Each structure stands twice: as structure tokens, then as C-alpha cells.
Amino acid sequence: MVSRNRSQVKDHLGSKVLNHPELRNTKATEYMSHEEKYRYNLSRATAMLKLIDEEGMDVNEISKVMSHTVSGFTTPDGNPLAVHQVMFVPTLMNQADDDQVSRWLGDVFNGTIVGTYAQTELSHGTFVRGLRTTATYDPASRTFDLHTPDVSAAKWWPGGLGTTANHAVVMAQLYTDGQPRGIHPFMVAIRDRETHRPLPGITVGEIGPKLGQNTLNNGYLLFDHVKVPRENMLMRNARVNEDGSYTKPSHQKASYGTMVFTRVAIALDTVDALQIAATIAARYSIVRRQGEPRDDGQEPQIIDYQTQQLKVLPHIAACYVLRASTARLWEHHTHVTSEVRGGDTALLPELHATACCLKALVTQDCSEAIEALRLSCGGHGYMTASRLPALYAYATAGATYEGENTVLLLQTARYLVKQAGGSHAPPAAGSAVTYLSRPADDTPFAVGSPAAYVAAVGRVARGRVTEVAAALQADRQTMPEADAWNQSLVQLVAAALAHGRYFVVREFAEVVSQQSSSRAIQQMLQLLFSVYLAHAVSRAEGDFITYGGLTPSDIRLNRRHLLRLLAELRPHMIPLTDAFDLPDRLINSTLGAWDGDVYRRMFEQASHSPLNTDEVPASFHQAMLRSKL
Ligand SMILES: CCCCCCCCCCCCCCCCCCCCCCCCCC(=O)SCCNC(=O)CCNC(=O)[C@H](O)C(C)(C)COP(=O)(O)OP(=O)(O)OC[C@H]1O[C@@H](n2cnc3c(N)ncnc32)[C@H](O)[C@@H]1OP(=O)(O)O
Ligand SMILES: Cc1cc2nc3c(=O)[nH]c(=O)nc-3n(C[C@H](O)[C@H](O)[C@H](O)COP(=O)(O)OP(=O)(O)OC[C@H]3O[C@@H](n4cnc5c(N)ncnc54)[C@H](O)[C@@H]3O)c2cc1C
């Protein structure tokens, strides 16, 4: 048992979620059927929406409340209204014009309209320009004809589409005046508001079981020449006039804006999943004792094994570092979005590049970390009731949806090599890429100096980007662009990740230096930062020798330094995870409860297995005896 002051849910919104009359009583969902799970998660997601509405929350508050969706409390098997909340509503708010907003938003907020974001098709997800659903404008009837040419162009994946939504923002190839105009968003009613039956010309349903998040309610959707009024194309950016004439958007990728927002939201949100996993593994690692008894006669706590410290502690440091940098990205996104709404798109390319690489870096790091934390809990980490499998399934989905990570890193790399080659508009003041046009920071490497580590991370990023930019430039002289690009793909991805790492550590260095409320807190942040940096070097030693200016001797020193830092961090592990302030009901894990009463909880959860209801289950007589085993 652990004795310390119990952490409280200080956060007002968090306690509103936990104590909401329709949410506070939870049920175990493991043994429910697919349909029962969906009904349970949907009713809880609806209660959350009502809460958001009753409280009149702004986007920051919504993001806080939504962050509970990853927990085992609100919608433990996936939130069927997540895409409504995180993509459909933001798309209307940012891509519909003022008239359209006033036409639809009332019904959205009173729950009459429930939507999804229908972009991906069976045969195209990544290559958005290749989508094949068409929206052909007819000036005579002032309608668009929405059509799915064949089954490979069926929409496939949209969350909430399966059985929940009655509307969709559909991304389709626009044709006006016989000309293709590219991908544009359309507001389309897909089910009757009263009966919920699919409307004429619409085929819709759910796609089937997945690795996780099975109540996200992903669906398919086909159109058979469905007529949509002209006023239903979202017209804040591009316009189609009554006569079919077309007005271009202010930025060619304006219609991709929702994706940028969601990438930022996913980066922020995946750190929540890591915080939960880190809390579970930290608590379990002090409760679990196993091995040859020590002098005090007790078997050792597993956290006192050096290998266990390496499996757990760097990920606690990562929670702090990634939380800070994703929060900064969220603020930056809010700023740039308001500029774009005012017609100034100058900051959009860099926001896109940063959102792409942070979404990729964070989801990759968090899913690897959650898997390491699951393994750190041995056999019991494999139990569903530990919650670690679901957290992994959640985080790893983030590596695919909203832009597959490799593809997003290549978007960032495209921006970086253009910056390095001077073929892009120069970066604005405060840009994250100015380091590419300056001489490398030659601060000598020294273990124990976070500033020296940050400089080395910067040299790796700079070295990676300039090297691949030069290789690409050389290849372009001898082969077609697509071949030259393909020739450098692996190095481009590495360059974008190195740039992302540099962004993250610079942001955290600033957070540490600005922290002035308490010396003790600053020292703790410095220790966490040192662990993160030493671990980052240990994971990419080759890069730090090749580009970062470290010698083999520095590498050896860093390995020892990291292990010393872990031993220094170990006594603070529980306060550092308690500080995430995650109540037991949100964590919902047999291994990660605050009181450490692991074994009793494990037995308690086993008692729910339907196979334990009867001493001899009916299946014994029906299957085993009959087959004469
Ligand atoms: C008050 C109330 C408020 C209410 C508000 C409520 C708010 C609530 C808030 C709550 C939030 C908090 C809680 C969160 C909970 C999360 C739970 C998650 C649950 C689960 C959700 C699951 C969701 C998952 C959903 C999905 O998965 S939805 C599908 C996502 N699908 C993809 O992501 C496809 C990827 N593919 C591409 O994005 C493109 O295909 C492609 C690769 C870019 C190539 O695009 P292409 O058109 O070929 O362009 P290029 O030729 O490569 O580039 C040409 C030029 O354009 C440039 N450029 C390309 N892009 C862009 C871009 N964007 N922007 C700008 N520029 C761009 C490029 O830099 C280049 O510039 P240049 O170099 O020329 O200067
Ligand atoms: C849980 C979940 C929820 C989702 N929700 C939604 C939703 O609400 N709405 C929606 O519209 N979609 C949704 N999606 C779809 C999702 O956005 C796509 O699956 C994702 O964008 C990846 O696209 P893809 O499936 O075409 O992958 P592919 O592009 O087919 O990826 C396969 C492989 O090809 C590689 N590859 C592809 N293109 C390139 C390239 N140019 N260069 C190098 N490598 C490349 C990738 O790196 C990857 O290794 C969801 C997906 C999941 C898993």
C-alpha cells in the first residue's frame, strides 16, 4: 500500500465530467456485445456533448473535456461523436460562410444535426487529390450531383458514419463548367432527421471490427447521383456562383484546414494517453516486488532494477516535454487560424509543416512508449483490465489517421528542403526554421549541460536537412523529379523527425527558463529535461556522431550519465505521475489505481468473466463431451 496525500481533481471541468449524473456510474464493457458497447459509449458521448453545451464551453475547455475521451471512464471503447466534435463542427466553423454557419450551427448545437468528416475512400486516403467521389454542378437546377463512380471510390473510415451521423461533410472532386476544380467540402444530409433511415441514393453502414476504438463507429458511404443544393458547398474559401462560375480560394489548400487542426488536436491528445500509461506503469513498478530477497528480507521493488528504470522513467520525462511543446503548438495554431480567417495566409505553410511533424513525432513516440510501458508490467500488462492494450491501440491509430506519419513527415521535409535551398519565401520572425539559414551552433558538447545537448540536437537537424537537400538537388540534375524524390525518401523522413525533435527541445528549454514560481519546480523540470535529452541521444547515437559533433567518448559518457539521471529521478517518480492528477476512475486500470491494491483488483475483475458464472459452464457438455475429447 502507498501512503501519501491523495491527489484531488483540482480541475473544475474534470470534476464536472466525473460527477455528471449520466456519467458517474460506469459499467465494465469487456463482456458486452459490439452493439451493447456502442450503445453504452454513445450514451456517454452524448452526455459529454450535453455537458459541453450546458456549460457553453470554448474550444480550449472543449479540448480539456475531450481529452477525457481517451480515458477508461468516458467512452472506454472509442467515442462515436469524436469526429463530429473534432472535425465536423470545426469544418463548419472554419469553412462555411457566415450565412451557412447561421443556417446550420443552431441545429448542430441542439443535437438535431450530428455529423462526420467523410474524406477517405477505399482506394485513396493519403493522396487526397486522387479522391474519386464527384460533385458536378448543374446551373439549371442549381444543384450538385454527388456520385460514387464505383465501389473503390466508396467513402471508408469516417468516424461516427457507421450508424450515428445524419450529416457528413463530404470531400469531393468539384466539376463546374466542365472543368475539374479540385477537392472541396460539401454538407450532405445522409439520414432522415426523424427516422434515421438512409436518404434516397445513399448507401451507408459500419465497416467492422478494428485493433481498437471499436465504438468510434467508422463507416462506409456511397452516393448514387444524389442532388445537393448549391448552398451546401462550404463557401468561406472557394465559391460556385449560380451560373456555375468559380471563385478560387485565397490559399490553394484552404480546404485542407480541418486536417491541420485535427493534427494539432491529435498531438495534444496522444500525450494524455501517454500520461495515463506512465502513471499505470509507475504505480505498478513500486507495488510489484519480485526477485531474490535483499538485506531487509523483502523482494526488490521492480523499479529498482536499472533496466526497469530505463523502461519507465524516460517516458515520464517525455510526458512533460511533449505536453509543453504540443500546448505551444495549440496556441500557435489558434493564432495562425485567426490570421488566415482575416485573409493573411503567410504563416500557414510553416504551421502545416510543424503540425505534420509534431503529429507524427508525438504519435510515434507515444505509441512506442506505451508499448514499452505495457511490457514493463510483465504478464499483467497484457490483461485488458490493465488498460494498457487499449491505450496502445488508441495511440497507434494516431500514427495512421489524419495523415499517415511517413507521408506527413515528407510534407515537413518538403518545406525544410525548400527552406534550406532558399526556394521558399523566407521564414517570418520567430520561425522554427531560421536555424537552417544560420551557421551551426558550435556550443561544445558536455554531459550535464542541457544547453549543449540542445545545440547538438540542432546540429543533427541542420545536418540531416542540409545533407538530404544537397543529395536531392544533385539527383534532380540527372533524373526526373519523382525519381529524385523517391531516391531520398528515407533520409527526408529522418530529416523531418530530427527537425521535430529540435522543435520539441527548444520549446521545452524555453518553458524551463521561463519557470520562475519555485526553485524546486525549476530544478525538477531541469532534471526531467536532462533525462529526455540524454535518452534522445542514446536512441540516435549514430546521428549524434555523424551530425551532432559528439565523439565515441561522449556517447559512452552519455550512456552512464543517463543511468545516473534515472537513479536520481526514481524517488520522484510517484509525485511526478501523481502530478498529472488523474483520478482512478479516469485511469480505470487494475494496475494503476492510486492505492496500489493491484492483486485484489485483478481478482475482482476476473469475477466478471461470464465463464466463471457456473462452476461447470454449459459449453463443457455441449462441445467437449460431444466431441469425445
Ligand atoms: C465553441 C465551439 C467550438 C467547437 C469546436 C470543437 C473543437 C473540439 C476540439 C477538441 C480537440 C481536443 C481533443 C482531441 C481529441 C482527439 C480525439 C481523436 C479522435 C479520433 C479522431 C479521428 C480522426 C481521423 C480523421 C481522419 O483521418 S480524416 C482524413 C485525414 N486524411 C489525411 O490526413 C490525408 C493525408 N494527405 C494529405 O493531407 C495530402 O494529400 C498531402 C499528403 C498533404 C498532399 O497533398 P497534395 O494536395 O498532393 O499537395 P502537395 O502537392 O504535396 O503539396 C502542395 C503544397 O500544398 C501544401 N500543403 C499541403 N497540405 C497543406 C495544408 N493542410 N495546409 C497548408 N498547406 C498544405 C504543401 O506544403 C505544398 O506547399 P508548397 O511546397 O507547394 O509550397
Ligand atoms: C481509426 C481510424 C479512423 C479514421 N477516421 C477517419 C475519418 O473520420 N474520416 C476520414 O476521412 N478518414 C478517416 N480515417 C482514414 C485515415 O485518414 C487514412 O487511413 C490515413 O490518412 C492513411 O491513408 P491510407 O489508408 O490511404 O494509407 P496508405 O497511403 O495506403 O498507406 C499505406 C503505406 O503507403 C505509404 N505511402 C502512401 N503514400 C506514400 C507516399 N506518397 N510516399 C511514401 N509512402 C507512401 C504509407 O507510408 C504507408 O506505409 C481513419 C483511419 C483510422 C485507422
DSSP code for 379: G
Whether 1 has a pLDDT exceeding 70, the answer reads: no
Residues touching ligand 2 (Cβ under 6 Å) are 83, 117-120, 125-126, 157-159, 213, 216, 218, 397, 400-404, 406-407, 410, 489
**Helix H or strand E encompassing 452:** helix 450-478
Q: What is the average pLDDT value for the chain, to the nearest integer? A: 94
Q: How far apart are CA 563 and CA 305, in angstroms?
A: 11
Between 163-172, 176-185, 331-340, the lowest mean confidence (pLDDT) is in 331-340
More confident residue, 528 or 423: 528
Q: Does the pLDDT value for residue 626 go beyond 80?
A: no
Dist. CA 429–CA 524, nearest whole Å: 31
Segment 397-416, tens digit of pLDDT:
999 999 999 999 999 999 99
- Most ligand 2 atoms within 8 A of CB, residue of 85, 114, 152, 157 to mutate: 157
Whole-number pLDDT of residue 553? 98
Residue 54 is a catalytic residue: no
Q: What is the position in ligand 1's atom list of the atom closest to the CA of 120?
A: 29
Please list the residues that pair with 191 across neighbouring strands: 198
Would you call 590 helix, strand, or coil by DSSP?
coil
Residue of 52 and 78 predicted with greater confidence: 78
Contact 360, 409 (CB under 8 A): yes
DSSP label at residue 193: T
In short, whether 82's Cβ falls inside 6 Å of ligand 1 is yes
User: In whole angstroms, how far apart are CA 474 and each of 414, 492, 594?
Assistant: 16, 15, 58
For residues 564 and 49, the answer to whether their CB atoms sit within 8 Å is no
For the cut 80, the answer to whether the pLDDT of residue 429 exceeds it is no
Which residue in the list 402, 404, 568, 615 is annotated as catalytic? Answer: 402
Q: Which atom of ligand 2 is nearest to the CA of 155?
A: 11
Q: Which residue has the least CA distance to atom 30 on ligand 1?
A: 402
Quick one: which H or E segment has residue 55?
A: helix 34-55
What is the identity of the amino acid at 621?
H
d(CA 544, CA 546): 6
Residue carrying the nine cell digits 481533481: 9
Instruction: Starting from the CA of residue 117, give the closest ligand.
Output: 2
pLDDT tens digit sequence for 542-583: 999 999 999 999 999 999 999 999 999 999 999 999 999 999
CA separation for the pair 264, 354 (Å, rounded):
9
Mutate to test the pocket of ligand 2, among 81, 119, 126 (most ligand atoms within 8 A of CB): 126
Ligand 1: atom nearest CA of 58 is 1
- Pick from 75, 259, 423 the residue to mutate for probing ligand 1's pocket: most ligand atoms within 8 Å of its CB: 259
Task: Locate 101 and state its grid cell.
Answer: 454557419
Domains present along the chain, CATH in parentheses: 12-79 (no CATH), 113-249 (2.40.110.10), 257-428+437-578 (1.20.140.10)
Q: Determine the pLDDT at residue 384.
A: 97
Interhelix angle 348-376/489-514, nearest 10 degrees: 90
- 63 C-alpha to center of ligand 2: Å? 24
Could you give the ipTM of this predicted complex?
A: 0.98
Ligand (nearest to CA of 212): 2
Q: Residue 252 pLDDT more than 90?
A: no
Query: What does the pLDDT read at residue 505?
Result: 98
Give the residue, by CA position, lying nearest to ligand 1 atom 56. Answer: 253
pLDDT of residue 8: 41
Asked if pLDDT for residue 585 goes beyond 70, the answer is: yes
Residue nearest to atom 49 of ligand 2 (CA): 406
Mean pLDDT of all residues in 335-346? 86
Question: Can you tell me the distance from the alpha carbon of 190 to that of 202, in angstroms, rounded to the nearest whole number?
Answer: 6
Helices (H), 288-423: 306-341, 348-376, 388-397, 405-420
Here the cell at position 291 is 526477485
The pLDDT assigned to 576 comes to 98
115-118 and 167-176 beta bridge pairing: parallel
Closest CA to 558 of 449, 440, 441: 449
Cα–Cα distance for residue pair 22/17, rounded to 1 Å: 9
Residue-wise pLDDT tens digits, 347-388: 999 999 999 999 999 999 999 999 999 999 999 999 999 999
pLDDT of residue 625: 66
pLDDT band at 2 (very low <50, low <70, confident <90, very high): very low
Confidence band, pLDDT 50/70/90 cuts, at residue 126: very high
pLDDT at residue 13 tops 80: no
pLDDT of 495-552, one tens digit each?
A: 999 999 999 999 999 999 998 778 999 999 999 999 999 999 999 999 999 999 999 9
